[in-house]
Every structure is written in structure tokens, then in C-alpha cells.
Structure 1
Amino acid sequence: MFHRKKHRLAAGFAATVLAGAAVAGGVTMAQANTTAQAPVSSVQIVVGPESAPGQPSEAHCPDGMGVLNGGFQSVTFSRSGGGDPYDGVTVNAPFRNGKGWVALLMTGKVRARAVCVPEAQAPQAVVGKVSGEADDSVARCPAGTKAVAGGYTRETWYRNGYGESTDDIVANAPTMDGSGWYARQFHGKTVARALCS
């Protein structure tokens, strides 16, 4: 009985020492699990209005906030008489000033969505040059920063005689070294946009 009690006291002492070491190190274990997470109130998802057919939807970040990332939801996506899709996502990108996200379908209706954070935490928006046809557009990040997100806007977009899309985005990704974001269309010209941090 005495040995078991002594063992429990030793175990309790060891736990106290470990807890004390964690506190002395600056954070408790409970704090360590929460300090890496941003407060929920510092991130806001903003949903843009439903667009008219073939028109953009814009999700604007609230005052004092910038965009961290974004995307879109197709509300309608045009189809041929046989049911095949003939629409295209021609724009899916951060605003040029980094204050929101824009999305556009060739003929359908869309809603843009933006992930917004306080401006002090928001990455910097960078716009690439207009590409050649079927060529890359690259948005290069400033020195010392890397691309954390990005997107594209179309400069041209090809259609057939029936108005159906004959183009598509074939690249929309960070560069291999992470120093920027690039985009490319199958036929037309595009412009990459990067969010750099």
C-alpha cells in the first residue's frame, strides 16, 4: 500500500514538473493547441450576389479586410441540346487590389466566394501580363514572398458557330518554385493573378 501511494505521489510530482516546464517555456499544452489557430472572428466568408447570365459576380471583403483565397459556385451551367456542357469558367481570381474575389461563366450564372482576413494578415495581390495565345501568363511575387493562392482572368475565349465554348483553362497553379502564379488557356489569351505572402 505504501509503495503504491509513493508511486502515485512520484507520478503526480513528475506531471507537475512537466506542466511547470511547459508553462515556464511560455505556453501550456492547452495554449499550444490553440495559439496556431486564428480566431474564428478574424476570418469571414463573403458570398457575392448571383450574377446575370454571362456576367461577373463579385465578393467584396468588408472594410479593413483583404482576400486570402476564393472561388465560385455555378448557379446555372449552359448545356447543349444533347445535355453536354458548353459553358466555361472564364474568370476565377482575386481582385486586382486584393479586396475580394471575382468569378465569371461564359454564359451561365455564378456566385463568387471570398475568404477575407484582416488587412494586416492579407497577402498582396499581383497581376501578370496578358499571355500570347495558348501561352503562359505569370504573376510574379515580390522578392521575399511566395504565392499562397491565385487565379486567372480571360483576355479572349473561343466559341464555335453555335456559341458553345471551344476553349478552357489548362493551367491555374503556383509556379514550380512558388515565386508566382501562372495560368494558360487551351486556345486563347489569359492573365494570371497571384496572392503573395
Structure 2
Amino acid sequence: MPVLTRATVVLSAAAAIAFSLAAHAGPAPTARTELAAEAATPTPKIVASGWAEDHKVASATCPAGTGLVGGGFDSHNTRNRADQNTDSVEESAPSATKSNTWLVQLSNGDAKSFAMCVPGAPTPKTVASEWVADGGWAYATCPKGTALIGGGTDSTPSKNGPGAVTDAQQVNAPSGKKANTWMAQMMNGSSKAFAMCVK
């Protein structure tokens, strides 16, 4: 019987910062405008899902009047009798089918999803790449007229005979070479990238 352990919550503040910078872009600020901007900058509301057990998908949706700017996860990873990890976070990404929603899924264990929601922020359009197999690079690019504010990944990690994960995610980040693009890569398995795009 696998033993479940608790992993760390990872929240992406980069998307919130990017949105805040874009919303306050303009002429060089004075001390007065800096104070006004600081007072007007909304604090993200964090929405948490319940626990989704045994490989099920955890889903956290922002309330009306707020926009999704990022997300993250908490997890109970499975381990073998030697206390070695046998699990992986397969998905931590904005949903491509349900707006303002962050999804999380483990290969074997239990997952909890967190959505960062900013009052007044636009609802992002989620662009998904195709699946890329065998450790290949997946790229999701925002369409013309929109800006990348964040992203995430889904994956199918390689496993051994008993079903233990033998893979790792190597990349889940914005691209430094492709404009407005989120990229993802597994060591051996398949990846799908998701880009969060706003006008």
C-alpha cells in the first residue's frame, strides 16, 4: 500500500506581477502617482478546491468580477515501501475549456488546486499546444493582439511496470526566444503547454 506524503504549495506570483505592471504602464511615475497606484493595486483572492483523490482532477474557479492570473497546487504524493516517490504532478495549468479555472492532477495521488484571482482583471483566453511526445518541447503562443500573462502544463510521464513514475518535468516556463509563448517539456514523456493571454 503506498504511503501518502504532503508536498509544498506552489503559487505563481509572476502572472500577478505581469498583470499589475501592464495595468499601470505609462509615463514615469512621481511619488504621488506611485502611492496612488499602490493603493489601487488589488490584492489577489486565492480560491482553493477540495482534495481530488487518486489521480482525479482538482479544479479551482475564480468568482465573478475577478480574473485568473495564475495558480498552483498542493499534493499528497504516493511513495513505495522504501519511502521513495512514485508520483508526479501531471497537470498544473489554466483550463482550456472552463474560463478562469486552474486545474491540477497527480499521476497517482491526491491533488488540491489554487487559483489566483484579481478583482477587475480580464478573463484570460487559454491557448493550448498539441501533445508532444518523447521528451519533446511543447509551445503555446498567444494570438496577435494579446499578451502572455502566465501559463502551465499537462503531461503524461513515463512509468515502470508497477505504475511508479520514472519521469520528471524539465520545463514549465515562458519562452525567452519565442515571443508571447509558454513552453513545457518532460524528460521522457509527453507534454502539452498552456498560455494565458489577455487583450
Instruction: Tell me the equivalent position of 2:54.
Output: 53
- Identify the residue that residue 81 of structure 1 maps to in structure 2: 81
Which SS does the other structure have where 2:67 is aligned? Answer: strand
TM-score, reference length from structure 2: 0.75
Say which SS state the counterpart of residue 158 (structure 1) adopts.
Answer: coil
- Residues 73-112 of structure 1 aligned to structure 2 (within 5 Å): 73-74=74-75, 76-96=76-96, 97-112=98-113
| CA–CA distance in structure 2, aligned partners of residues 143 and 115 of structure 1 | 25
Q: Report the alpha carbon displacement of residue 120 of structure 1 after superposing the two structures with TM.
A: 4.6
AA at the equivalent of 2:41: A
List per-residue Cα deviations over 1:38-84 (Å, max 9, x = no partner). Answer: 233xx31100111112111110111343311000011x211111111
Quote the RMSD (CA, aligned, Å). 2.1
CA distance in 2 between counterparts of 1:38 and 1:54 reads 37
Query: 1:39: which partner in 2?
Result: 42
- Contact persistence 1:66–1:100 (CA under 8 A): no
**Structure 2 SS opposite 1:78:** strand
Give the letter aligned to residue 35 of structure 1: A
Partner of 1:132: 133
CA deviation string 1:2-26 (max 9, x = no partner): xxxxxxxxxxxxxxxxxxxxxxxxx
* Residues 68, 121 of structure 2: 8 Å contact kept: no
Q: Identify the range of structure 1 (116-125 vs 160-169) with the bigger mean alpha-carbon deviation.
A: 116-125
Which residue number in structure 2 is paired with residue 168 of structure 1? Answer: 168
The answer as to whether partners of 2:129 and 2:194 remain within 8 angstroms in 1 is yes
Cα separation, 2, equivalents of 1:82 and 1:120: 47
Do the aligned partners of residues 72 and 173 (structure 1) sit closer, same or farther apart at CA in structure 2, a change above 3 Å counting? same
> AA paired with 1:133?
D
Q: 1:164 to 1:91 in 2, by over 3 A?
A: same
- Structure 1 unaligned spans of 5+: 1-26
2 CA distance for matches of 1:79 and 1:126? 34
Tell me which protein shows more strand as a share of its residues: 2
| Percent identity (aligned) | 30
The structure where helix makes up a greater share of residues is 1
Deviation at 1:137? Answer: 1.1
For the structure 1 residues 31 and 153, does the alpha-carbon distance in structure 2 shift closer, same or farther, using more than 3 Å as the test?
A: same
Structure 1: distance between partners of 2:197 and 2:99: 10
How many Å separate the matches in 2 of 1:119 and 1:100? 16
Q: What are structure 2's unaligned runs of at least 5 residues?
A: 1-28
C-alpha contact 2:51 2:112 (8 A) present in aligned 1: yes
Matched residue pairs, number?
167
Aligned residue identity for 2:135? A
Distance 1:30 1:192, change over 3 A: same
Indicate the residue corresponding to 1:9 in structure 2: none
Could you say which structure has the larger radius of gyration? 1
Contact 1:66 1:98 in 2 (8 A): no
